[in-house]
Amino acid sequence: MRITDVSALVLRLPDVTDACDGTQDTCLVKIETDSGITGWGEVDSCPSVVKAVIDAPLSHQICNGLGNALLDADPLAVEVCMEKMMSAANYYGRAGVGRHAMAGVNLALWDIAGKSAGVPVYRLLGGGFSTRFRAYASVLFGDTPSETYEIGRKFADQGFSAIKFGWGPMGADETQDIDLVKEARRGSGSEVDVLIDAGQVWDWKTALTRAHQFAEYNPFWIEEPLMPDDVAGYGQLSAASPIPIATGEAEAALEDFERLIVAGGIDWVQPDPGRCGISTMVAAGLVADRYNRKVVNHSFKSGITMAASLHALACLPNASIFEFCMSDSPLRHELTHERFTIDDEGYISVPEGPGLGVTINSDTIDRYRVL
């Protein structure tokens, strides 16, 4: 089997705001082969820039577009393909969006591998520690504490046993920060786990102060309180915080995940397969397990990324919960024919079909494709 084409498809809603919601646009990766098997991936990054990285023409030996680098390659040799891309992007893409584009390709390669073998991806990776995970509703804070209360009440009434509130007005004002968490807890009720995603708003000393201020509301964790590169700050915060600290969604390289786990001392590592790929997500989770830390997906995209996250988590002994994006965007719900649902116990299951186990809705692509 050989790769005959690698294409990047940019989809975008008619109206996009500055809300931190990754379902307003996306970049899909489509890999076609001479055997007729097609693999699909998705990238959580700047979609038009990802497309440029994949579509770029040859400049020279170590400066090439990812699509060119993979033409005629064996898609089942996943690690060989990853090395080809690292070599092609040597000058411009060994970090950031270059890695993100490679992550989307990685998803598509594993999709092809599973379809070729007729098995779900997690089986190819030796997984099956668990095939269902407790889902937490992932939403943004309301603009006010009272709106946040109503959001918590809404999703608690839907039966979620955990709700994460993120970004929005968090970090603008000390009193408001506390009131947001207070109302998140009051709306969700005492039996529901409340997770706080601060959104990179504090230095470590302020984050530690907030952790003590939030403690009476018993958050499950505080996520991404510091800027991604503040590893030393994470180390200080994690050592002293009364609340577990989670982060990692911004990382793409294994060594960066390991740095956060070891030097940053975080309790939960959060790889996003649309930024690091399935291969690196599993590797990062295993590093976390070695240090007795836990792993959870970051996923705020379509069913492609959700499926990839589930397959990766199934390969990890230290995974137990799943980020379930509650956005009502059609790019969240209508890109795959499969609709991910939560069972009566609040759990989501890994797709058991071959590859990623999802099929693409071409009508949705036609409706929202812009590049």
Q: Which domains does the chain show, CATH number per domain?
A: 3-118 (3.30.390.10), 124-360 (3.20.20.120)
Q: What secondary structure letter does DSSP report for 354?
A: S
95 CB contacts (<8 Å, ≥6 apart)?
252, 253
Distance CA 131, CA 315 (A): 9
Distance CA 27, CA 43 (A): 6
Distance CA 293, CA 286 (A): 9
Tens digit of pLDDT for each residue in 274-314?
999 999 999 999 999 999 999 999 999 999 999 999 999 99
CA gyration radius, the chain? 20
- CB-hemisphere CA count at 13 Å for 70? 37
Nearest one of 85, 91, 8 to 52, comparing CA atoms: 8
- Three-class DSSP category at 167: coil
Q: According to the model, what pLDDT value does residue 212 have?
A: 98
Distance CA 35, CA 75 (A): 11
290 CB contacts (<8 Å, ≥6 apart)?
none
Q: Are 20 and 98 in contact (CB under 8 A)?
A: no
Q: Which two tokens stand for residue 141?
A: 């804070």
Give this prediction's pTM.
Answer: 0.97
Which H or E run contains 245?
strand 245-247
In our burial notation (b when 16+ CB lie closer than 10 A, e otherwise), range 250-286 reads bbbebebbbbbbeebbbbbbbbbbbbbbbbbbbbbbe
Give me the residue label for tokens 């890695």: 99
Give me the residue label for tokens 């400049």: 59
Task: Return the percentage of the chain with pLDDT > 70, whole number.
Answer: 100
Mean pLDDT over each residue of the chain, to the nearest integer: 97
pLDDT band at 29 (very low <50, low <70, confident <90, very high): very high
Distance CA 80, CA 75 (A): 9
Mean pLDDT score, 164-174? 96
Distance CA 91, CA 59 (A): 10
Tens digit of pLDDT for each residue in 308-367?
999 999 999 999 999 999 999 999 999 999 999 999 999 999 999 999 999 999 999 999
Q: Cα 48–53–57 angle (5° rounding)?
A: 120
Q: Are 45 and 101 in contact (CB under 8 A)?
A: yes
In our burial notation (b when 16+ CB lie closer than 10 A, e otherwise), range 139-174 reads bbbbeebebbbebbbbbbeeebbbbbbbbbbbbeee
Q: What secondary structure letter does DSSP report for 278?
A: H
Question: How remote is the C-alpha of 245 from its chain's centroid?
Answer: 17
pLDDT band at 145 (very low <50, low <70, confident <90, very high): very high
Could you tell me whether strands 25-33 and 3-12 are parallel, antiparallel, or unpaired per DSSP bridges? antiparallel
